[in-house]
Structure 1
Amino acid sequence: MNDVDDLKVGHNERFSHYEYFDRRKADYETFLMPTDFVMASELDDHRQNSDDWVLYNTDKFEGDMDINVIDLANIYPNVDNDDTNSQNNVLYNAIRNRHQLWPSPRIPYAISSQYSPYSRSVIAAAMEEYMKRTCVRWVPRSVKDYDYIYIVPDRGCYSMVGKTGGKQTVSLGTGCIQKGIIMHELMHAVGFFHEQSRTDRDKHITVLWGNIQPGMQGQFEKYDHGMVDSLGADYDYDSIMHYGPQAFSRNGQPTLVPKIPVSIGVTETQRVVVTTASEISQEPTNGSIHVIITESCKNIRPDCDELVTSGNS
């Protein structure tokens, strides 16, 4: 595919002539503008794609996680394939290392100048949904912000997990300009792994190893409690962080089969769970979005008490 993404946007005629991005343009940091959020409010939600195939990059850890050598050394020794009955089983895949958690709900960002107006509007829609349903605040990076995420149209969809320090890339390339996909990558940036990597996953889902692409079995490993933190949540088939049923399939057949009749895979109506380095204060569970509120969130958002009570915005 050419550097200029040639996918068109479909049914919304206002945006039908826009491309997603153009890598021929100079790449410099910009921020979302009020007009991007106005355009976001006019997007046709039914038109948006919900394909998650773009998350399964064979050259990325678990398909869309940008992990360096040091991170891999920390992850693989902690993989636990046997001890599924431990009292310390992972109940949600939040990163345990507090130094990699953002210290407050305020997370600075910048966005590449290479994105089209349409793509900016979809990114704005994803961030707005994130802020509507959680206490995380995506804010334009200021000169005082050393740590921030930089959203760029690199090859594919990927993100580091948690705060890595300095400028860290979140890639939203070809096929990634979908609200659900963007929220998925932002969840990684906040500090979450994939749902099916939980230590207790074999109680809830069957991995069909024979259907996995050769060499990709490592994408389906589990972590023990030394790598990820338990947030006390039940296994969530509806998590926006869950692989789809044919992830890394070699033959088009399922690689993951739920043990109850439910759907899995990234859509735009799934649960979003967000925490910061503060202690968890509440865990509302009703509503279409699963929100975990922290004390630091409650200090900055006036309707957090209502969120805690209702589980909705």
Structure 2
Amino acid sequence: MSTIRSQRYVEAKNDHIQAVDDTIERNNRKSKVDMALFQGDMILTNEQAEEIMEDVKKNESGRRKRQARRDFRYPRSIWSKGVNYAFWNASNEAMTAFRKAAALWSEDTCIDFVENNTGKTKTVTESKCGFRAGLIKKYFTSKYSAVDRIDVIKSVGCFSYVGKVGRTQSFSLGEGCESIGTASHELGHALGFIHTQSRHDRDSFITLLPENFLDGWISQFVKDSIYINHNYNLTYDYGSIMHYSTGSVSKNGQPTMLPRLPKYLKTLGSRIISFYDKLMMNLHYGCLAHFKAPPGSKIEVVLDYFTRRFSNDGCVHGGIEIKTENDKRLTGYR
């Protein structure tokens, strides 16, 4: 079965737009930082790394008990007062991509982004990086380092911390990473999201093909346990911007993962923030408000006009997205 489905994948491969994680993977592998980062593009604090290692042990022992990450620091790990960010040596293309990605995440959520470059002192230091924060030298210094802030830099590759870690945290959009899709994916990490294929329930939705992985990569596809992976009762979204593509980190051009529903074969690796991405982010940040009409009255919503297309969550470069599930909020197959 896997062989047949792999052949179908190869035949259909070239008519799919470039997946966001393919760009991240390719650039980070070219820069030789992919294996130094957790799952190819995430920096972990020492505490997060230790927690994940302990979590792996719990999974292996069978003591399992939830794509947002709710670790022991939650809710301190969310940007409850908005996201301050500053640009250091980032290229003009990277700055444009970051601002547009921030606007996309801010739209339809309660998360505000504030550019805050006042009083900075630029001190650039090149450094090798590792997925533990303790292995990373300071890239920059600032006069106001006490402010929780994202520092957008041009380093080697594309990477981010996971959630707010306190004070300043590096966010790299290096050469080849200056697309809106890549910036949106990395911002998803900075806001607290892990990769979709790391969900504790992923085996019910995708099948991994270890024989096709680049050497050393299969261990990076470790699942989170229900203890630290909280999905807010939302089902698996194949079209999440946080999902790797079918051919990600492949050593032979064959798929490394296949959706259990074949119709989603070309949906994985989206460069678009999905409805479910924003819904989960709103739940993670407590953005949802509920209200009801007073007794004897009702709430009516009148749409005066539309300023955009009726749908903006599908294929934006020509194509069609078909929604066949009962839940129309869920990404369809493309």
- Taking structure 2 as the reference length, the TM-score comes to 0.63
Could you tell me which residue of structure 2 aligns to residue 162 of structure 1? 163
Could you tell me which residue of structure 1 aligns to residue 321 of structure 2? none
Tell me by how many angstroms 1:119 deviates: 3.3
Matched, 1:267 2:271: yes
Could you tell me which residue of structure 2 aligns to residue 227 of structure 1? 228
For residues 68-107 of structure 1, the aligned pairs below 5 Å read 68-79=45-56, 80=59, 90=66, 92-96=67-71, 97-104=73-80, 106-107=82-83
Tell me by how many angstroms 1:127 deviates: 1.6
What letter corresponds to residue 38 of structure 2 in structure 1? F
Q: Which deviates more from structure 2 when the two are superposed, residues 184-193 or residues 49-58? A: 49-58
* Alpha-carbon separation, structure 1, partners of 2:61 and 2:210: 16
Matched, 1:151 2:152: yes
What is the number of equivalent residue pairs in this alignment?
A: 238
1:59-98 CA-partner distances (Å, limit 9, x unpaired) = 21111101244322110221336869x7x5x2x3333331
1:54–1:156 contact (8 Å) kept in structure 2? no
Q: Which runs of 5+ in 2 are unaligned?
A: 1-16, 26-33, 119-143, 291-309, 315-328
Tell me by how many angstroms 1:147 deviates: 0.7
Could you tell me which residue of structure 2 aligns to residue 42 of structure 1? none
Could you say what secondary structure the match of 1:52 adopts? Answer: helix
Matched, 1:109 2:113: no
Cα 1:258–1:172 shift into 2, 3 Å: same
1:94–1:191 contact (8 Å) kept in structure 2? yes
For residues 10-21 of structure 1, the aligned pairs below 5 Å read none
* Alpha-carbon separation, structure 1, partners of 2:145 and 2:162: 23
1:143-192 CA-partner distances (Å, limit 9, x unpaired) = 59611111111111111101111110111112211111101111101111
Could you say what secondary structure the match of 1:133 adopts? Answer: coil
What letter corresponds to residue 184 of structure 1 in structure 2? H
2:68–2:194 contact (8 Å) kept in structure 1? yes
Could you say what secondary structure the match of 2:151 adopts? Answer: strand
> What fraction of aligned residue pairs are identical, expressed as a percent?
29
Higher helix share: 2
- Taking structure 1 as the reference length, the TM-score comes to 0.67
Tell me by how many angstroms 1:215 deviates: 1.3
* Alpha-carbon separation, structure 1, partners of 2:224 and 2:49: 12
Q: 2:22 aligns with which of 49, 53, 64?
A: 53
2:86–2:115 contact (8 Å) kept in structure 1? yes
Could you say what secondary structure the match of 1:98 adopts? Answer: coil
Q: Which runs of 5+ in 1 are unaligned?
A: 1-47, 291-309
Matched, 1:207 2:211: no
1:156–1:174 contact (8 Å) kept in structure 2? yes
1:99–1:163 contact (8 Å) kept in structure 2? no
Tell me by how many angstroms 1:267 deviates: 1.2
RMSD: 3.1
Cα 1:246–1:83 shift into 2, 3 Å: farther
Based on CA coordinates, which of the two structures has the bigger radius of gyration? 2
Could you tell me which residue of structure 2 aligns to residue 245 of structure 1? 246
